[in-house]
Structure 1
């Protein structure tokens, strides 16, 4: 995307959706099949499901997403729904359509940044503020989840309604706690998967290929052009925003800030080697998170409209034509004919369905550890964990000792 977006411009899922949907609509108007190739599942999700809607009271100058990002935008273009002949013929298909008054509740817009989004108020203070205006939402957010707490406060300030009410309206409109309903019921997802060990080896090799292609010099050039201002102010770059949050920058931070004459020293080479190892590690972890995301949000959902998801095994590249390309063509052809493919979808009779998320999980307070745990899973794992049990035993000993000290001695 370096030829599409300037590295320092905030570019979020809303911008992507705004760019992608007109292209998809143009393809559909010419009876061609849009194929969305990922990539970032979060962005694909914004195309598959109706999770963004124009504010009913605004002119449409600003839109936002549940992740808390904002984007100034022109007045929303009217995008027509594809004709009936195109339905059922689109992979990961998406299109914006004019919304009636019942559909407008599915998302919302915000017109300004709140004055408290300036790092002045503490996380605890912000969470207490949210507890007053939207206690339901506050119970489902950890106080340290600053971005989502602020986003929830912004929604209330700019709309006079709570995010909890908006999410409830989404579910009532046919969606789930994750957002609104599917844009088109006949979309389908092809999920390429391979053996985890093979995937890890491929990811490591990809990092090596990036290094051979000049990754380190690219990072140095970018640091010199965009990142040096942070160093001059004696502060660290904000690796939570924009391109700086991308995998590859923070892993090499300690190497990048070295003076040029120290980069080839023993210390510099050690930091470079550590950055490479960290990059490989976080890349492998990210791949695992992507797989969990797909499973939990696209497949194991009991409360969400989900298109069929077909698994294609790409472990052995030598068998690509037979196990990936041929099967993919057969699945798409069957879909185009309105028939059910021979291969079984992963969404059929999926076991261990998941219907919990941030919209219905609540916070639990552990008095022993003085810690907030979000959701029943975290709560169970915490209570059964060694640290909690150790703290429990420690407090029992302290309480027993305190009781011994306060016992009144007998008088003889």
Structure 2
């Protein structure tokens, strides 16, 4: 497929709280785009405040896809995102509009943009349950150490609390005797689309302050009540959805393991660390054009710069 035959795809990515949502709406209006959410948590219904999910009245009539498509009890995967995202790119392009991926989940975005092939290792429930039981008995750090012993690169990318992905990486090594990191490194980047990838960053301390302010706002908007409602509906803390930032910390508070102050302190710390991991992941995607020091004071200037990048990359 030649470049001219490929679907044009715009991508806006960056760490949590950097300011993607407002910019995405303006760009979507300018370029007649439909937004595909590249966020692994916003797929879950009823998980709105803790995921900073855009509200329908804020969408300005712009179609948003892959939001509220799963119940919290249903685990969602990068492979599922890749399949659904690829189908949406075709459908949106077929309508004469621009597919626009917006989000911060690096594996999801990279797998779709570069057409990754996922490991052939199949689900081994007995192995998964054994690892889960080990983590319950010995703790998240001990399970993370198991991964670090066989695949240190993947371990460095995954938070000890990301039990599902840690177990999947261990499962791949158990079945294939190869590592997740080596599988990803060997991926042949096929570039199935004509891509324009724009990344947003800002001074680290400013970003951290924005993260803390966002969490305070979430709490003011009812995050505790949202988590309480999910637990009351039968959502268990070992569900993939409930492992998300904001949910696991507040659930620990509601079940008496932490004070609210301690839960909030932990949430802010873990979210800062998550933002750092997001940036580390994106930094190895060499095709991204970075917009540095992105903040309100220079918003108009950066918007012009982004439009110039889009004009160059996508000829729009």
TM bin, normalised by shorter chain, reads 0.5 to 0.7
Deviation, structure 1 residue 335: 2.0
Aligned match for 2:217, one of 195, 198, 209: 209
Post-superposition Cα deviations, 1:36-59, rounded to whole Å, max 9, x if no partner, equal: 11121111011112222xxxxxxx
Aligned match for 2:285, one of 282, 295, 298: 298
What is residue 250 of structure 1 aligned with on the other side?
Answer: 248
Post-superposition Cα deviations, 1:377-400, rounded to whole Å, max 9, x if no partner, equal: xxxxxxxxxxxxxxxxxxxxxxxx
Deviation, structure 1 residue 114: 5.2
- Cα contact 2:114–2:191 (8 A) shared by 1: yes
Residues 288, 138 of structure 1: CA spacing in aligned structure 2 closer, same or farther, 3 A cutoff? closer
What is residue 132 of structure 1 aligned with on the other side?
Answer: none
Post-superposition Cα deviations, 1:283-338, rounded to whole Å, max 9, x if no partner, equal: 1111111111111x313xxxxxxx3x211135430321112x11111111122339
Determine helix, strand or coil for the equivalent of 1:190.
strand
Post-superposition Cα deviations, 1:47-79, rounded to whole Å, max 9, x if no partner, equal: 112222xxxxxxxxxxxx4xxxxxxxxxxxxxx
What is residue 330 of structure 1 aligned with on the other side?
Answer: 308
Determine helix, strand or coil for the equivalent of 2:102.
coil
Q: Supply the distance in 1 between the matched residues of 2:99 and 2:193 (Cα, whole angstroms).
A: 15
Post-superposition Cα deviations, 1:132-152, rounded to whole Å, max 9, x if no partner, equal: xxxxx9984369965423223
What is residue 119 of structure 1 aligned with on the other side?
Answer: 130
* TM-score scaled by length of structure 1: 0.49
**How big is the alpha-carbon RMSD for the aligned residues of Structure 1 and Structure 2?**
3.4
- Cα contact 2:200–2:294 (8 A) shared by 1: no
Post-superposition Cα deviations, 1:198-252, rounded to whole Å, max 9, x if no partner, equal: 111111111111111110111111122224xx6xxxxxx43xx511210112222
Q: Supply the distance in 1 between the matched residues of 2:131 and 2:281 (Cα, whole angstroms).
A: 33
Q: Supply the distance in 2 between the matched residues of 1:185 and 1:23 (Cα, whole angstroms).
A: 13
Which ranges of structure 1 fall in alignment gaps of 5 or more residues?
53-64, 66-106, 124-136, 157-161, 171-175, 231-236, 259-267, 300-306, 339-412
Structure showing the higher helix proportion among its residues: 2
Question: Is residue 2:78 matched to residue 1:13?
Answer: yes
Residue-pair matches, total:
228
* TM-score scaled by length of structure 2: 0.62
Residues 120, 257 of structure 1: CA spacing in aligned structure 2 closer, same or farther, 3 A cutoff? closer
Which ranges of structure 2 fall in alignment gaps of 5 or more residues?
1-42, 46-67, 135-146, 161-165
Residues 115, 257 of structure 1: CA spacing in aligned structure 2 closer, same or farther, 3 A cutoff? closer
What is residue 150 of structure 1 aligned with on the other side?
Answer: 171
Residues 330, 113 of structure 1: CA spacing in aligned structure 2 closer, same or farther, 3 A cutoff? same
Post-superposition Cα deviations, 1:84-118, rounded to whole Å, max 9, x if no partner, equal: xxxxxxxxxxxxxxxxxxxxxxx5363x5354333
- Cα contact 1:251–1:279 (8 A) shared by 2: yes
